[in-house]
Amino acid sequence: MINFNKFYKLFNLISLTLVVASVLLLFFKGLNFGVDFKGGTLIELRSNDKNINVTSLRQSFNKMDLGDFNVKKFGNENDFLIKIEKKDTSANAIEIIKKDLISSLGGSFNFRRVENVGPKVSSELLKSGIIAIALSLAAMLFYIWIRFEWQFSLGAILALFHDVIITLGLFSLFSLEINLSIVAAVLTIVGYSMNDTVVIYDRVRENLRKFSDIKIYELTNISINETLSRTIITSATTLLALVSIYLFGGEILKGFSLAMIMGVVFGTYSSIYIANPILVKLRVSQKTILKEDTE
């Protein structure tokens, strides 16, 4: 048996630091929103000419007077991703860019992907993304509240916030792009983290019924250990699947799978080190559970 409970305090401190750091990052550095949420134009192009590189592309885009833009390699040696922030994109802006590019660098381009999101749509997408995440947190809170006592509900939600905030904090720290698929990843993280917490909580509740003489501090530790191999195996198989998406699933899914990997790691950690210490702090005992049973 591993004494997880010995480190409750230490890891709580670490978690608190990480959360505060993440909030500060989100507040001061902010998130790197992609075209989905900020509006603008995204072009993925493949060049058939080996001489074309980021620098030459940047030069020709500079000439086009498009305002802020960003050129980078995208996976493959000949693939590039260009993001243009210009808001007042007229209907034929993309055609003009295509023409300009071909005239300045020669006509050996393949426009693999073009996305153009107007400011109205992007702000709607952002709004619905935020609502979706808030709604899922609320739904989880409600579900756990029905299935368990409020102390459990609070613990699970704090664990969720912990995971979501730290994942977003890391995205901010490394300036990783937030797009629609990241919202999907965050929601899945919420589901996964909850899943993991619920399994341990289920065992805590079962043990609370069984043992009246063991303090919650010990009891959580027993429950964590009893479910530990499951926790490890499920995290491992999920991570195996995610790492496979990250490595082989193509550039477009990289951000999504990375967010999920972070989420699974933090979700697993928080269901041990956030969800359980909360129960200890809230002095959950057999009475908490029995009250529920007699009602």
Contact footprint for other proteins (CB under 8 A)? 44, 91-92, 94-95, 110-118, 120-121, 125, 128-129, 131-132, 135-136, 139-140, 143, 147, 180-181, 183-184, 187-188, 190-192, 194-196, 198-199, 202-203, 206, 226-227, 229-230, 233-234, 236-245, 247-250, 252-253, 256-257, 260
For the CB of residue 217, give the shortest distance to other proteins in the complex, in Å: 22
Identity at 251, one-letter amino acid code: E
For the CB of residue 11, give the shortest distance to other proteins in the complex, in Å: 23
For the CB of residue 13, give the shortest distance to other proteins in the complex, in Å: 28
For the CB of residue 279, give the shortest distance to other proteins in the complex, in Å: 16
CA gap 112, 102 in Å, rounded: 15
Asked if 12 and 273 count as a contact pair (C-beta separation under 8 A), the reply is yes
Kindly tell me which of 25 and 263 has the beta carbon lying closer to other proteins: 263
Kindly tell me which of 7 and 161 has the beta carbon lying closer to other proteins: 161
For the CB of residue 227, give the shortest distance to other proteins in the complex, in Å: 8
CA gap 285, 295 in Å, rounded: 16
Kindly tell me which of 23 and 245 has the beta carbon lying closer to other proteins: 245
For the CB of residue 165, give the shortest distance to other proteins in the complex, in Å: 17
Kindly tell me which of 184 and 282 has the beta carbon lying closer to other proteins: 184
Kindly tell me which of 9 and 127 has the beta carbon lying closer to other proteins: 127
Kindly tell me which of 92 and 175 has the beta carbon lying closer to other proteins: 92
Kindly tell me which of 51 and 90 has the beta carbon lying closer to other proteins: 90
Q: What is the dihedral of CA 72, 77, 78, 84, to 10 degrees?
A: -10
For the CB of residue 43, give the shortest distance to other proteins in the complex, in Å: 10
